[in-house]
DNA sequence: TAAAAGTAGTTCGCGAACGAAGCAAATCTA
DNA sequence: TAGATTTGCTTCGTTCGCGAACTACTTTTA
């Protein structure tokens, strides 16, 4: 028995204040949301503090990661980027503007389709990013240290169907 | 076998593009963050669309819920509200300003401590809220329909220690 | 008991993201 | 093949949240 978290406390309060209301399902969602907030805040702080890391924003970092992991020539269209990343078109444009201004990426018009563009990681961008990625994943691993490997796997396995279901329906 | 979600796809790409990088721990975090985004977006949409619901923002709704679940007289200080809710002081002030303007809450100076104030749900606020809470939790339950009861419990049990650990360290 | 330090909450300025509207380029239609 | 529709992306206007600075009150210190 290792204690009650903030959501347990809230659930107890609900039971006392509104016994007829079934808030049990909300517990899982509330925990997911609270964790996401804690994690994102921690990651943003980390990104901002890291010397050499000009990106100070997890959203921008996500764009770079998506470009990096497709492999050479590290290029994607904005539409493909959006599919990887759950952000509005306007939001993505903003991210790309910032990253371009900082020299991480270039934008060229697509030869196949004049409406489309090709976002490409610059060579220095790739190099800088590779330096930062290792630190980033080490940090993520540290954030998860409360869970052993089995629990992580089980957690991932339980979260996957939820994502699949919601992505399909929403 | 029910398919691969967006994070599985990303993991495969990483394995091909950067075999030396261990991104496995990030999978759990990425799923939590992606889910939180999907869920919050869905809840915000729901709140905005619901007739009779003047609150169109999950953050504001959270304030109302915190006040509701402490029971009569449905009052808390801003400091206590913040403890329940992971938001900055400025952010909370903004929420309270909006809610006050819409007639959900009142603010009075504390008799015990002149710096502090007491935020109180108005009687009409309580009534309106009780009408909306039932819908809200039904909606949350629907969001979780991909998971049976056992999995929800297991999920909650696996997330709890993570929250406790992160809240303590961050 | 007066000055210093701490605490509660707010306002201000800014950054990031959203929805809606706009603008080309591409594709469909008659 | 001209006009209408769709598609890919950007800009505009607004909202929400954060950190820092500020105000006002309370507690500590000497």
**What's the 3-state SS for B118-147?**
EEEECHHHHHHHHHHHHHHHHHHHHHCCCC
Instruction: Say what the pLDDT of residue A2 is.
Output: 67
Residue in the structure block whose two tokens are 């090709």: A118
DSSP secondary structure of B54-95: ----HHHHHHHHHHHHT-TT-EE-HHHHHHTT---HHHHHHH
pLDDT of A142-165, one tens digit each? Answer: 999 999 999 999 999 999 999 999
Mean pLDDT of all residues in A8-23: 94
Instruction: Say what the pLDDT of residue B51 is.
Output: 63
Of residues 2 to 61 in chain A, which lie within 7 A of strand D by their beta carbon? none
pLDDT of A42-96, one tens digit each? Answer: 999 998 887 666 677 999 999 999 999 999 999 999 999 999 999 999 999 999 9
Of residues 95 to 114 in chain A, which lie within 7 A of strand D by their beta carbon? 96-97, 107, 110, 113
Between B5 and A120, where is the model more confident? A120
User: Digits of tens for pLDDT over chain B (170 positions)?
Assistant: 568 999 999 999 999 999 999 888 889 999 999 999 999 999 999 988 876 667 779 999 999 999 999 999 999 999 999 999 999 999 999 999 999 999 999 999 999 999 999 999 999 999 999 999 999 999 999 999 999 999 999 999 999 999 999 998 87
Residue B69 and residue B84 in contact, taking contact as beta carbons nearer than 8 Å: no
Instruction: Say what the pLDDT of residue B24 is.
Output: 87
User: How far A30 CA lies from chain B's nearest CA (Å)?
Assistant: 9
Is residue A56 helix, strand or coil? Answer: coil
B143 vs A29: CB contact, 8 Å cut-off?
A: yes
Asked if the model's pLDDT at residue A118 lies above 70, the reply is yes
Instruction: Say what the pLDDT of residue A51 is.
Output: 63
To test the contact with chain A by mutation, choose from B12, B23, B28, B58 the residue with the greatest count of A C-beta atoms within 10 A, namely B28
Between B72 and A170, where is the model more confident? B72
- In this complex, the residue of A2, A86, A144 whose CB is nearest that of residue B34 is A86
Of residues 57 to 76 in chain B, which lie within 7 A of strand D by their beta carbon? 57, 59-60
Instruction: Say what the pLDDT of residue A50 is.
Output: 78
The model carries a pTM of 0.93
Instruction: Say what the pLDDT of residue B52 is.
Output: 63
């Amino acid at each position: 028995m290792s204690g009650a978290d903030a959501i347990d406390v809230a659930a107890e309060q609900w039971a006392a204040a509104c016994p007829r209301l079934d808030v049990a399902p909300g517990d899982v969602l509330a925990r997911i949301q609270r964790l996401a907030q804690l994690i994102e805040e921690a990651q943003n702080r980390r990104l901002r503090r890291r010397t050499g890391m000009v990106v100070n924003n997890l959203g921008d970092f996500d764009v770079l990661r998506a470009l990096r992991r497709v492999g050479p020539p590290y290029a994607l269209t904005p539409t493909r980027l959006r599919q990887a990343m759950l952000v509005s078109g306007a939001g993505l444009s903003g991210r790309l503007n910032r990253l371009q201004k900082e020299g991480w990426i270039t934008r060229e018009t697509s030869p196949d389709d004049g409406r489309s563009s090709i976002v490409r990681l610059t060579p220095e961008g790739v190099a800088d990013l590779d330096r930062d990625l290792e630190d980033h994943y080490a940090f993520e691993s540290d954030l998860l240290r409360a869970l052993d490997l089995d629990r992580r796997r089980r957690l991932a396995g339980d979260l996957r169907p939820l994502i699949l279901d919601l992505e399909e329906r929403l």
